[in-house]
Every structure is written in structure tokens, then in C-alpha cells.
Amino acid sequence: MSDIANNLAANNAANTARAKDWFETLRTDICNAFEAIEREAGSDASFAFTPWQREEEGNPDPGGGVQGLMKGKVFEKVGVNVSTVRGNFSPEFAASVNGASAENPGFTATGISLVAHMANPHVPAVHMNTRFLTTGKAWFGGGADLNPPIPYDEDTEEFHAAFRAACAAHNPTYYEKFKKWADDYFYIPHRNCHRGVGGIFYDHLESDDDAAFDRNFAFTQDVGKTFLDVYPKLVRRRMEMEFSDADKLAQLQWRGRYAEFNLVYDRGTLFGLKTGGNIDAILMSLPPEAVWT
């Protein structure tokens, strides 16, 4: 391996460690914030954390992660997972990943993934994840999107306004670009509908040099901070609202659509399955209860 390649590999390893530390810190802050909401509701529910180790034949250090799961009075089911894994893609899957190939299938990935399904159908469900990957390239990706069974314009606007401001602080083109990316991505073609009311989604913010890494890492950190600021406000606004049987049925039907998207179209689900991730952690995004009518 050339000196340039050695330096790049060392730099990517250091940057992966920095990103990993941040994702774990964000996980702790989010879990503390969600547990505080449970306390306000008179619940003693807390996250249970389950470590897991990835396995890959011939790989002495394939990595792993920690699944965090809470089932409470407000959060019917919420998962906050972190993982850092490394190894080789299968040749056929490598061809679909930015910077990877059958000849160069190696990768490292670190990230945080969150999905919250709420007990009260007036409280919007939510998804958030951010990640840093290295293959033949290095890049950040992620985003957050709001998934209300019963949408409220006020909540939708506040969620989008928060991410609009976060994007504007880094690049004036980001919000419109990443909002459209979310609208296009979180769409269920066979139902001809969107999964929720959107948010932002971004990928392949290439970070092969220090300046690019620092710039895109700062943006990714702000995505996490913005989520932590805005989403608990929406939960507190709606969590004590009365709801009817019809409202609950609407929530369960909507959850069926959510499950369909995650099982049929979601790239994160596929990535986890193709890279030997923990099945329970990968499928924590599925709702605790859903109906199809």
C-alpha cells in the first residue's frame, strides 16, 4: 500500500472514531430526553440496552453495536441504535454502494438510527438517522422525517422550519435539495402515497479530506441537535390529547404503510441485512402493532 493510501486509511479510521463518539453522545442525550418525557407522564419506563457483535468469516474485528429499546406510556416503542461495523461487502452488493466494487469491497460504517412509535395517535411518529461510511470514498448521510398518523399543519411547519434553519446555517441550497430528496425517497409507489409529511434526507456528502470531513461532520451534528430540540416539543404538545377508537384505527392503518415501506423500499434495512447486522436492531423500526384492512 502506498504512503498516500496508508495516510488516507489512517485518516478515515480517526474520522470514523470521531463520528462514532458523537453518535454515541447523541444517543445518550436523546434517550435521556425521551425518558424525561416518560417521567412527566408518570411512567418509570427506561431504555434497555443490548450489545451485539457482528460476525464475518475471516474478519477478526467486524464490530457491532448497541440496541436501545424503550416501551413506555408515551413512547409505545422507541428504538435508538448505534453501531460501528467493518468488513467486506458481497461482490454483488458492493456494486450498489458508493465507492465500493467487487475489486474493492471493504467498508467501515458508523451511525445512529432512531424510530419512535407513539401511544397517542395525535403524537407523530418519527425517524432519524445519521451515519459516516468509508469505502473507496468517505461520506456522511442521514436525515429526519416526521410520520404523523393524524397530521397537524402546526407540527409539520415547526419540524420543517427547524431543519430549514439547520440547513441554512451550512448551505443555502441544502434545505430545498434535501427536502425534495426526502419527499422522493419516503414514497410508497404501490400505495401512491408518502410515508409521512417529510423532512430532510441526504447522502454521499463526500468527506475524503479534512476540510470536507469537518464541514460535513458539523452539518451532521446539527441535524442530530435539531432533532433533539424540535421533536420533544411536538411530543409534549400532543401527548395528553384525548383520542377516539377511530383515531387509534387510523394510527394502526398508517403503521401498516410504514411497515410496508421499511420492508420493501428502505435502503437502511437492506444495508443492515446485507452486512450481517443484528436482526432485532435492524427491524426495531417496525411498529409494535399495525393493521391492514
- pLDDT, tens digit, for every residue of 219-239? 999 999 999 999 999 999 999
Question: Do 164 and 180 form a contact (C-beta atoms < 8 A)?
Answer: no
- Cα 4-8-9 angle, rounded to 5 deg: 120
Distance (Å, rounded) from C-alpha 89 to C-alpha 171?
A: 33
Distance (Å, rounded) from C-alpha 235 to C-alpha 218?
A: 26
The reported pLDDT for the residue numbered 20 is 98
Residues 6+ apart with CB under 8 A from 188: 194, 195, 257, 260, 261, 264, 265
Q: Of these residues, 122, 127, 160, 194, which one is catalytic?
A: 127
Residue 95 confidence class, pLDDT cut points 50, 70, 90: confident
* Beta sheet of 138-147, edge-to-edge order: 48-53, 63-70, 75-88, 106-118, 125-134, 138-147, 198-206
Distance (Å, rounded) from C-alpha 106 to C-alpha 86?
A: 8
The answer, yes or no, to whether residue 241 has pLDDT greater than 60, is yes
The answer, yes or no, to whether residue 120 has pLDDT greater than 90, is yes
Q: Show the DSSP H helices in the chain as ranges.
A: 3-40, 91-94, 153-168, 174-185, 210-238, 245-264, 267-274, 279-282
SS3 177: helix
| Longest alpha-carbon distance in the chain | 66
- pLDDT, tens digit, for every residue of 169-217? 999 999 999 999 999 999 999 999 999 999 999 999 999 999 999 999 9
Residue 91 confidence class, pLDDT cut points 50, 70, 90: confident
- The candidate with the shortest Cα–Cα distance to 9, out of 86, 95, 82, 83, is 86
Residues linked to residue 142 through DSSP beta bridges, in sequence order: 130, 202
Distance (Å, rounded) from C-alpha 70 to C-alpha 62?
A: 27
Task: Quote the pTM value.
Answer: 0.93
Q: Show the DSSP H helices in 41-73 as ranges.
A: none
Terminal Cα distance for the chain, rounded = 58
- pLDDT, tens digit, for every residue of 23-57? 999 999 999 999 999 999 999 999 999 999 999 99
Q: Which residue would you say has higher pLDDT here, 271 or 158?
A: 158
The reported pLDDT for the residue numbered 29 is 98
The reported pLDDT for the residue numbered 6 is 45
The answer, yes or no, to whether residue 5 has pLDDT greater than 70, is no
Q: Residues 104-140, buried b or exposed e (16+ Cβ, 10 A)?
A: ebebbbbbbbbbbbbbbbbbbbbbbbbbbbbbbebbb
- Domains for the chain: give ranges and CATH numbers: 3-285 (3.40.1500.10)
194 a catalytic residue: no
Question: Do 198 and 146 form a contact (C-beta atoms < 8 A)?
Answer: yes
* Mean pLDDT for the stretch of residues 257-271: 93
How many helical (H) and strand (E) elements, i.e. helices and strands, does the chain have?
A: 8, 9
